[in-house]
Amino acid sequence: MKKAYVIAFLLILTLLLSGCIQGLLKPLDVTNDLSSTRSTSDESDDSSATDSDMLADFSTFARTYLAAIEAKAGAGFIFELTDNYEINVFQDKEQIMTIFLENAYREYMQKGDMDAIIEQHIVASLETLTQSTPDYDENSIMPTIRSADYVQYIVELGANVVYEPFLGEELYIVYVVDFQNSTKALNESDLMELGVERDNLRNLSISNLRRILPEFELIEIEGVYIIIMDDYYESSLLITDFLDEIDIPITGDIVVGIPARNIFAFADSKDQSAIDLLTEFTLDYYEQSGYSITGRLLKYSGGSFDWY
């Protein structure tokens, strides 16, 4: 499990309790690629050590990223950095991919280790580039929770991605194919090629997810419970039976915060001080995360979710 991540998470909550979190990054528009990085188990996450005055600006970060991926990719690909700090990738004079750097830069702003962040994201990008016909089957399909902004973004791109509403028009399930270091959004042609029926997709993906997830760690701070597990699929626990299976002394409804894809925190609706803490933390983390989902809380009652 990610001990460094746990420590950083605890520190953030401690700072939040003492009112010391200020000057958080404003949320960016959704600009992540249809492929996404998976974190590795030895990844460092010590956002508390970051001094914003010492961090490189976006332009410097983008140029460093460009140089690094050019050095690793080798022959066959051409990378061009745009004025918007996006990297267009060409092969045989044809553009085959755009790498959006906002999420990587925001992650760098949180953690402060440029080399490690760039390396992590480059591994995922190159995995996507070099696997034009990747080897995967229906057991690789996983469910992810995404915001309406993200879904709007992929629709505007014209990508025929497989998704469905989860909660009103604000949260959606977007299905992905999981590789070792990255994921890619599942599209309709993938679904047809794998012979998976749309009606069975949710149950299949949940079964796959439960199979790959490691055992979780549960920590509790001032009545707020935090799940430490995979650092990618935590928010996907919403669509499993996870909350029905854990043994937690909660007397009211379960109130859940999923500010980002790797955060799943909850509290008892009858514990107002814990709810206040969860509310503040969820909004703060949502505003600073590179993979944000929602700053609102959800209520789990009677086997279903609604907005709190």
User: Please, which pLDDT band fits residue 36 given cuts at 50, 70 and 90?
Assistant: low
Q: Is the dihedral of CA 23, 27, 28, 33 positive or negative?
A: positive
Tens of pLDDT, residue by residue over 77-115, are: 899 999 888 898 888 888 877 888 877 887 788 778 899
Tens of pLDDT, residue by residue over 231-244, are: 889 999 999 989 99
Q: Which amino acid is at 93?
A: K
Q: What's the rounded Cα separation, in Å, for the pair 305 and 124?
A: 33
Q: What is the DSSP string of 62-119?
A: HHHHHHHHHHHH-TT-EEEE-TTSEEEEEETTEEEEEEE-HHHHHHHHHH--HHHHHH
User: Please, which pLDDT band fits residue 295 given cuts at 50, 70 and 90?
Assistant: very high
Tens of pLDDT, residue by residue over 173-208, are: 999 988 766 788 888 888 888 899 999 999 999 999
The answer, yes or no, to whether residue 5 has pLDDT greater than 60, is no
Do 266 and 296 contact (CB within 8 A), yes or no?
no
What is each CA distance from 31 to 11, 82, 98, 150, in whole angstroms? 29, 14, 10, 8
Pairing verdict, β 86-91 and 78-81: antiparallel
The lowest-confidence range among 17-26, 137-146, 171-180 is 17-26
Do 21 and 13 contact (CB within 8 A), yes or no?
no
pTM value is: 0.71
